[in-house]
Amino acid sequence: MRASSATLTKIVPPTVVIVLLIAIWWIVVVKNDSAIFPTPWQVVAGMLELGQDGTLWEHIGASLFRVATGFGLAFLVAVPLGLWMGWVSGAFRTLNPIFQMLRPISPIAWIPIAILWFGVGDLSPIFLIFISSVFPMIVQTTAGVHMIDRRYLRAAANFGVSRWVLFSRVVIPAVLPEIIVGIRIGIGVAWLVVVAAEMIALRSGLGYLIIDSRNAGNRYDLVIASMIIIGAIGLLLDGTTRLLERLKTVKWRYVR
């Protein structure tokens, strides 16, 4: 009973809010008698239209491929680099100023550079996703190493463990929760950036679908449908990364 009650508490409030927002949206459009802005049902019809002819799945697949590739490369670079910077003070002093200077630059500002270097194709958005998601993960991983309770390190040293054992059995498990936070931030930024890049430099993906729908006779039903799909996929990506918090090696951090 308690489990079902807790599940209802999580599901019912957001569902009620979503239903209310859809109802307000529908009423406002009908009252204004808008010839351009679609009703919720028109958006659903547009979404079904895209799904039936296969266009929707092609665009979703293109966007997810770019995000997976760019974010995967960023993860492979950021986590080892962040661990090294957090563990070796000289590496931190040398590289941190450079990363802190590059990190505030908007990923959108890199679009002309990406097109110049990689042309109009998949490599440009993959580069933009990499550059936008690598810095949050580096910073979060480095901060995680710096925040390790020194008592853990002293206790391990008292047992005379080797440096490798100390790093693999103490440092990495202690940093994993912060790495997961970095992953959540990075994947969210990556999903934002791929949509923006597809609006400018590509002819596939959900970002391109928005621009193409607007240009193809002001199909704002498809524009809104694409936006809703982008939000839903973003929610799923965040929920998937949050499942990492249930791993035994990091569960200690989230005990309440």
pLDDT digits (tens, 9 = 90+) for 97-119: 998 898 888 888 888 888 888 88
Measure the N-to-C terminal CA separation of the chain; round to a whole number of Å: 20
Is the per-residue pLDDT at 70 higher than 90?
A: yes
Give the separation between CA 181 and CA 241, rounded to whole angstroms: 9
Comparison of pLDDT for 153 and 226, the residue scoring more: 226
Query: Which ranges in 88-118 belong to alpha helices (H)?
Result: 89-102, 111-118
Cβ atoms of residues 177 and 250 within 8 Å: yes
Cβ atoms of residues 222 and 46 within 8 Å: yes
- Of 186, 166, 182, whose CA–CA distance to 174 is shortest? 166
**Architecture in CATH of 37-254:** Orthogonal Bundle (1.10)
Residues of the chain above pLDDT 90, percent: 19
Q: Where are the domains of the chain?
A: 1-33, 37-254
Cβ atoms of residues 103 and 139 within 8 Å: yes
pTM for the full model? 0.83
